[in-house]
Amino acid sequence: MPELRNQQPWLLVLLLSWSLLSVSLPAQAGSDEQWQVISLLPANGVYQADTLQQLVRASESLWQLKTPQQQPLIRQLDSLASMNVIVAQQQDIRFRRLIEQRELSQAGLKRLARLVEQHPLLQRRLVSADGQATHLWLRLSAGAPSDSLQRLTDQLQQQLALSGQPCIQQAVQQGPLYGQQMSRWHYQLTAASRQQADGRRALQQLARAQQQLSQSDAAPAALDGRLYSAVDLLRYLGNLLGDQLLDEQGLPRDNNTLAQMYMMAESLRSRDLHSLARPDFRQLQLVAIGHRQPLAAPSLDHYQLIHTSHWQADTQSYRVLDCRSPALISAETSL
């Protein structure tokens, strides 16, 4: 593993870029997310080479659909076929696509499954606990018509059929996410708080808030979902770079270490950490996924809740494509 503290040749350059980034990132808190989700149940489970190749081609075709203004129907697609993550491979740290052609061997597929299960932003969000379903999270463009989700589902179904994976559209009540919710809370440092945002203190508050939420009766079950924030992504990154960066609580040891970890993430072109917590820590996000009852937003000292994004798997925002054998589908439907 590389020793982050010894990366001096690029440290001053990254320090300057991080300083500029911390004051130039636009606020994302008030954006309209408009998430829609399609669950796909492949014939033989998710982690099959042919299934993943078909998923890549079918997912790429979704960008061809247009709004009446001739803009892409979607502005963001989070799926196994589209996301990039920071990984450790052969004594190196790199930013890679989840699905890479050279990684579709049996050993590579096992590594992919472990990566998805260990990564805080992927676990339960992209693949079900049993590995039988994968989920495509689509954020619609402004001006997308009301039938957009159905058009996207039809396109995905058609492209999968062309690739040799015929599927049927199931009732959403049969879907693995039906009834589940996602909540994303956006916080901003209060105007009344004149102190400069303290990164470690903000992370400690997020960790406490997650602990409190996990003890709620409405918290997501481990097999359904999870809670995550910048705390979890920093722990993941710290474990890749070396445990010496983290304290006994799993947090960066000090604010200097925290700044260096942000610089490493930026050098690898990863934007996930910046989305969850700006480098100046004036804006934070906390996410709950997989809960079935409403969750109250936790309070953070010196921060105010400025926006809440909410998604629920229902007939308006959720679709299911089932590519398994007709006999298996019929057996489950009759239960």
Mean pLDDT, to the nearest integer, of 173-184? Answer: 96
Task: Inform me whether the pLDDT recorded for 55 exceeds 70.
Answer: yes
What is the structure's pLDDT at 325? 75
Task: Give percent above pLDDT 70 in the chain.
Answer: 86
What value does the mean pLDDT take over residues 54-67? 96
Contact 138, 62 (CB under 8 A): yes
Q: Mean pLDDT check: name the lowest of 55-59, 67-71, 91-95, 213-217.
A: 91-95
CA distances from 317 to 19, 81, 117, 182, 191 (A): 39, 20, 25, 12, 36
Mean pLDDT of 75-101: 85
Residue 39: name the closest of 144, 147, 175, 159 by CA: 175
- Which residues, including other chains, have CB under 8 Å from residue 164's CB and lie 6 or more apart? 50, 54
Q: Quick one: DSSP state of residue 5?
A: G
Query: Mean pLDDT for the chain?
Result: 86
Q: How confident is the model at residue 91 (pLDDT cuts 50, 70, 90)?
A: low
What is the percentage of the chain residues whose pLDDT exceeds 90?
72
Instruction: Give mean pLDDT, residues 256-283.
Output: 89
What ranges do the domains of the chain cover? 35-178+312-324, 180-311
Please report the pLDDT score of residue 197 as a whole number.
Answer: 84
pLDDT of residue 334: 53
What tokens were used for 74?
A: 């979607």
* Tokens read off for 209: 């808030």
| The predicted structure's pLDDT at residue 7 | 43
